[in-house]
A and B are shown apart, each in its own frame.
Chain A
């Protein structure tokens, strides 16, 4: 079965660069790029939503089906 990848949206105008999403992603999907969070390895995402839940700034959305 083909794995459906989510879409991870980072809203830069809200992101305050706190690193929380990056540090606590269990699959190392995210990284800091300059000031903002960004996606480094979408393939590894298990859609656990931890990043979205913990982002204090409404800046990251994990869009699944």
Chain B
């Protein structure tokens, strides 16, 4: 049966602002299916973002939504979650928002292991401002500010998250739409800071400059580079050259979760009183 997205969409807001073929819409649909799977209560759920095309997502979701400033989603969300730990807090945003200007907040949310889920839509570019390179733009790629090819090496968001202390890290792609909701649902259910990176496309500012003839070619690339973690186990290093692992990459259920730890601080403080 066709899925009923209306349940979590604000009425009257479609069509959304994203360009034809922009993967952000595919991710938003995945998020909605995950919310539906978990039957999240709209009034008890906050969706928080920074600034960028990806960060416009909360405006469409019929929950408590907070479109903050560039890079600051994780910090605002930390305030929401700490003040009301019973709320589900979901962060969404782009690669630039999360790993450049918001990189500090991102790694510290990982470190605290605060029970929130962060969905990063990695389209390898600053889409909203017209295609300047981001910390995730591949070396050599063309962006509006790398006319001779990008000299910068890029971040591996998943490794960054794991290294910083996140306890659930997954990766999917906009092509593998069917998997997105499952990864997000598992991430939301995880008690701790969970990161879901979705490899995405920006046909308008990235595809065009990097010789992708259409969004279809960009989708095909996602299809080709993605290797599920299970399949990768049976592959040689050579075969994995240029591939990107997808699925649940890391899970640790032993590290204490921050709001629970803070509840203990309150207990100790009140006992001492």
Answer whether A and B are interacting partners. Answer: yes
Which residues of A does B touch, CB under 8 Å?
9, 13-14, 16-20, 23-24, 49-50, 52-58, 61-65
Please indicate the chain A residues that have their CB under 8 angstroms from the CB of B26 in the complex.
Answer: 53-56
B214 at the interface (CB under 8 A from A): yes
| B177 x A53 contact (CB < 8 A) | yes
Please report the C-alpha to C-alpha distance between residue A55 and residue B16 in the assembled complex, in whole angstroms.
Answer: 12
Most buried by B among A23, A57, A63, A64: A57
Which residues of B does A touch, CB under 8 Å?
1-3, 5, 9, 14-16, 18-26, 29, 174-175, 177-178, 214-216, 219
| A18 x B21 contact (CB < 8 A) | yes
Please report the C-alpha to C-alpha distance between residue A25 and residue B18 in the assembled complex, in whole angstroms.
Answer: 22
Please report the C-alpha to C-alpha distance between residue A55 and residue B175 in the assembled complex, in whole angstroms.
Answer: 10
Please report the C-alpha to C-alpha distance between residue A43 and residue B95 in the assembled complex, in whole angstroms.
Answer: 42
A29, chain B: closest CB distance, angstroms? 15
Contact (A56, B178) CB under 8 Å given A20-B215, A65-B1: no
Most buried by B among A13, A17, A18, A61: A18
| B2 x A62 contact (CB < 8 A) | yes
Partner of A56, one of B5, B22, B214: B22
